[in-house]
Amino acid sequence: MSAPPGVDRRLVLRRLGQAGLILGGAGALAALGLRSRGRWAGGAGPAAIPRRDLAVDPARPAAVIAAGGAIAPMVRAAVGALGGIGRFVGAGDVVLVKPNMAWDRPPEMGANTHPAVVAEVVRLCREAGAARVIVGDVAVHDAARVASRSGIAAAARDAGAELALPDDAGFLEAALGGAVLSTWEVFRPALTATKLINVPVVKDHALTRLTAGLKNWYGVLGGTRARLHQDIDTSIADLAAAFRPTLTVVDATRVMTRGGPTGGRLEDVRPVGLVAAGTDPVALDAWGARLLGLEPRAIGYLGLAEGRGVGSIAAGDALETVRAGA
């Protein structure tokens, strides 16, 4: 096999090896025929996915970056620059806070969303009067171990959230209406919450080169997700069109630049010290691509998602930066 001109052959081989590990592990799960408890909605037919995004407000920025200070002040500064948490969450809301909580790795490895980012989002929702705040994800590794080792379980509970793991929360068949994803089993809280806050981490990915907000929606799917890798860009665009979050808060406090999505080497993690937030998930992913030194339009799913009206790639190059306090 020869690499295209200008492409490091070793990088190509490493990418193929990483992809093989991901596909091979996922294929093994598929071979086991694993099915989620509480999968179907009692013959009622596929559930509709509610829209929980906000109407565009031309007086507000679509996304901002927060820099300086500790993690919690950066989260508050970013959300505050968008109009404050009261714009997104109100009294009585049931909020699903959806981190990347997929991998059996400690926080410093950058494989999962930093627990301090998750905790501060939970605190903001509680301050806004939410009746319930649920933190949940469908992990790749053992869900209970991931929740514990990532630090997210303890941080979420200390901040006043409930932790939802797949075996307890269950799944419902849902109508996604996508080109690849027509119907699929979906994590129940992702359908029943009145507000949806996506809290991804920016990192490298062996198949897509970038995982951030849009790819994070894989974590609401049950079943054999490996089948979707055959057309991964279209499946991510399907998810982006179906799951329109009320708010996205992006963890870029430390960024895994190689070895993603699982990681495991500290030398592959770069301290960046930023948090971004917004209502345009495509712009935020485009910004995340730049952090990895990638051209956003080279990320296949970003162009597809933009074409479906999910957001703007160009907007990711024009994000305002706000300073957080200590």
Give per-residue pLDDT as tens, 178-228. 999 999 999 999 999 999 999 999 999 999 999 999 999 999 999 988 889
Joined tokens for residue 160: 């006043």
| Ramachandran class of 243: left when φ > 0, alpha when ψ lies in -120 to 50, beta otherwise | beta
Which region among 36-40, 153-157, 278-282 has the lowest average model confidence (pLDDT)?
Answer: 36-40
pLDDT in tens, 51-110: 999 999 999 999 999 999 899 999 999 999 999 999 999 999 999 999 999 999 999 999
Backbone φ and ψ for 253, nearest 5 degrees, come out as -70, -35
Asked if 249 and 75 count as a contact pair (C-beta separation under 8 A), the reply is yes
Q: What are the residue ranges spanned by the domains of the chain? A: 9-323
- Flag whether pLDDT at 27 surpasses 50: no
Rounded CA-CA distance 137/106 in Å is 16
With a cut of 50, say whether residue 48 has pLDDT above it. Answer: yes
Fold (CATH) for 9-323: Rossmann fold (3.40.50)
Q: What is the pLDDT of residue 32?
A: 31
Neighbours of 76 (CB within 10 A): 22
Instruction: Give me the mean pLDDT over the 150-158 stretch.
Output: 98
Q: Position 315: which residue type?
A: A
Q: What is the pLDDT of residues 120-129, one digit of tens each?
A: 999 999 999 9
Tens-digit pLDDT profile for residues 256-307: 999 999 999 999 999 999 999 999 999 999 999 999 999 999 999 999 999 9
Tokens 């894989």 correspond to what residue?
218
Q: Are 94 and 192 in contact (CB under 8 A)?
A: yes
